[in-house]
Structure 1
């Protein structure tokens, strides 16, 4: 539920590869790429994730992507770990948020907390 988020990254090539592989199970692909960076989105999506090379050292960011099913959350988690992410919370219910909050968390190449979440029952 966002228009776009721009993340400054320390290694553009590594970050691009990580996010494309980790988010592929959620249908995220390259929408646009130029000398300024890359913009990724789900097909027909109204929000996007943008990456741009920077020498700045931004604070860690928590970003959650919508998954349409628990299976997509599981697939995101496997893909993100295979892409070099670090486990920060295996797929599972998080009833402290609400009874059907099913999510997985990984730490990306720049230390950002990346989540996929499904709010549907079962």
Structure 2
């Protein structure tokens, strides 16, 4: 249903370092950086597995409250995402574990990125 989405980030270098590390275990990487001549001098880049699905744009207007969940193919990937995100400066918002109150076979982990966005990795595969 959603082709792609994005969020503003206050510091491009900090956000890129965080997302590069946090997304690596999920097979997600920075696939596109839009030349600044097309963005009015704003840094804009897109992350994904095969095409840019999740975009960052540097902005003075950020804010917490956004929540994005990214699919993981295994519980081990969720665990690795969480460890990498915390090591890259993310703040804990829910360690890896089952969340049966959300849905059967729901295994997720939650971290706050440097701007306070709630970023999640989730696996729906049975154990």
TM-score under structure 2 length normalisation? 0.89
The answer to whether residue 76 in structure 2 is matched with residue 71 in structure 1 is yes
Partner of 2:20: 20
Gaps of 5+ in 2: none
**Bigger radius of gyration among the two:** 2
RMSD: 1.4
The TM-score normalised by the length of structure 1 is: 0.92
Match of 1:89 in 2: 94
1:121 aligns with 2:126: yes
Structure with the larger strand share: 1
> Is 1:41 aligned to 2:48, yes or no?
yes
Q: Secondary structure at the match of 1:77?
A: helix
| TM-superposition CA deviations, 1:50-95 (whole Å, max 9, x none) | 1011111345200000000000000000000011000110000001
Deviations 1:32-67 (A, max 9, x none): 11224110101x35x611101111134520000000
Gaps of 5+ in 1: none
The aligned length equals: 120
> Is the aligned partner of 1:61 residue 2:66?
yes
